[in-house]
DNA sequence: TGCTGATTGTCAGCATACTGATAATCAGCA
DNA sequence: TGCTGATTATCAGTATGCTGACAATCAGCA
């Protein structure tokens, strides 16, 4: 039978998703978010909202562009996050006196209070995420993840940048 | 000075996000997606769309509920993904003869052809994600991630389930 | 001073991802 | 047979996350 006459029955490539780093990382992210939301349920914030509140607390009066970099968020994504935090009265958005394009962010008293009550719950969530690993494995996992992040930092539109 | 008269100046807790597993996992997920999208640009599919196409190829005639579990997606999320793939003519959605609630999924010829051209690019993306690690570290990273996923599997609404 | 290019924030559009609700359907039992 | 509870898929609503485009503003220079 000549090759050309053989009906090319396209055989679907069989791939096990569990073996793919990208798939496993997505699963891990889903789980980490679920744990955070469980722990922070009474506070009512998401992981990203926590990160934004925390960075504003770390650097009061920060502008949105810098905040986006330090929280690893796209500026357009950050705009939405800050919108929601502002609507809940947790964050103030004030125009900069020096540059009218810039909007400076500060926590309100309510935002600070919420952040303070969120921190222990956030820490508990972090512990739970790594709990299945032995102590030494946890450190090794974090080391490996940080290598991956640092080396590939520039690849996403929101490259992280230390403050 | 009595405690009650001291103005409680709430001191913002300073936390370094980079030290938090959840934050690092989110960064890693952003990077993994960015690498995948770069490699798969000419094919025009996302990581999740690839996973869905691949699982349909692995099990032709699979129903959406089973597919959601094996691809680690919520059924409501999967509905949208399949909508888009169907609209592009990559997937067929047929009612089951046995149970009219169930919709069975199959790849079209175009879907199969696209999947075949996507696989090598997907594999290249997987290599790039772990490239910053040494060979032994890559295996260790994958082992640790799988421990975390397996142990915490039930925590997300879309617990993965081997086929 | 007035123009040009860069910067800041926002928007529209698309794609995950979740919760909670609902319609359609099925399976089992009185 | 007819009813009840479970199952399948879908929907509305909310929240990341990205791209590409835009208006407002600024900084630097002719």
The structure tokens listed for B106 are 């199959």
For residue B3, what pLDDT is reported?
45
HSE of A140 in the Cβ direction (CA atoms, 13 Å)? 16
Provide the 10 A C-beta neighbour count for residue B69.
Answer: 18
Residue ranges for chain A with pLDDT beneath 70: 1-10, 156-163
Nearest CB to B24 within list A22, A55, A149: A149
Residue closest to C7 C1′ by Cα: A101
Task: Report the residue of A144, A147, A157, A159 to disrupt the B interface, i.e. the one with the largest count of B CBs within 10 Å.
Answer: A144
Burial A83-92 (b: 16+ CB within 10 A, else e): eebeeeebbb
Q: Model's pTM, two decimal places?
A: 0.91
| Per-position DSSP letters for B15-41, written without gaps between them | --GGG-HHHHHHHHHHHHHHHHHHHTT
Q: How confident is the model at residue B157, as a pLDDT?
A: 61
Contact assignment for B13 to A57 by CB distance below 8 Å: yes
- pLDDT value for A5: 46
Low-confidence ranges of chain B (pLDDT < 50): 1-6, 162-163
Beta strands in A14-147 (DSSP E): 62-63, 91-95, 103-107
Do you know the residue count of chain B? 163
Whether A57 sits inside 8 A of B14 (CB atoms) is: yes
By C-alpha to C1' distance, C16 is nearest to B77
Instruction: Check A160 against B129: CB less than 8 A apart.
Output: no
* A21-54 pLDDT tens trace: 999 999 999 999 999 999 999 999 999 999 999 9
Q: Is the CB of B70 under 7 A from strand D?
A: no
pLDDT reported for residue B155: 73
CB B62 within 8 A of CB B55: yes
Q: How far is the CA of A98 from the C1' of D25 (A)?
A: 11
Nearest alpha carbon to residue A30 among B37, B51, B120, B55: B51
């Amino acid at each position: 039978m000549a090759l050309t006459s053989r009906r090319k029955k396209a055989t679907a490539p069989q791939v096990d998703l569990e073996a793919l780093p990208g798939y496993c990382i997505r699963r891990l992210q889903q789980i980490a978010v679920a744990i955070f939301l469980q722990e922070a349920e009474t506070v009512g914030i998401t992981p990203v909202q926590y990160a934004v509140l925390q960075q504003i607390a770390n650097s009061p009066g920060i502008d949105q562009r810098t905040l986006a970099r330090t929280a690893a968020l796209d500026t357009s994504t950050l705009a939405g996050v800050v919108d929601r935090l502002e609507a809940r009265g947790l964050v103030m958005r004030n125009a900069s006196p020096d540059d009218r394009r810039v909007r400076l962010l500060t926590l309100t008293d309510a935002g600070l209070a919420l952040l303070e009550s969120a921190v222990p719950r956030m820490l508990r969530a972090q512990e739970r995420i790594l709990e299945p690993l032995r102590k030494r494995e946890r450190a090794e996992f974090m080391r490996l993840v940080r290598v991956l992040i640092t080396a590939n930092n520039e690849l996403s539109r929101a490259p992280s940048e230390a403050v």
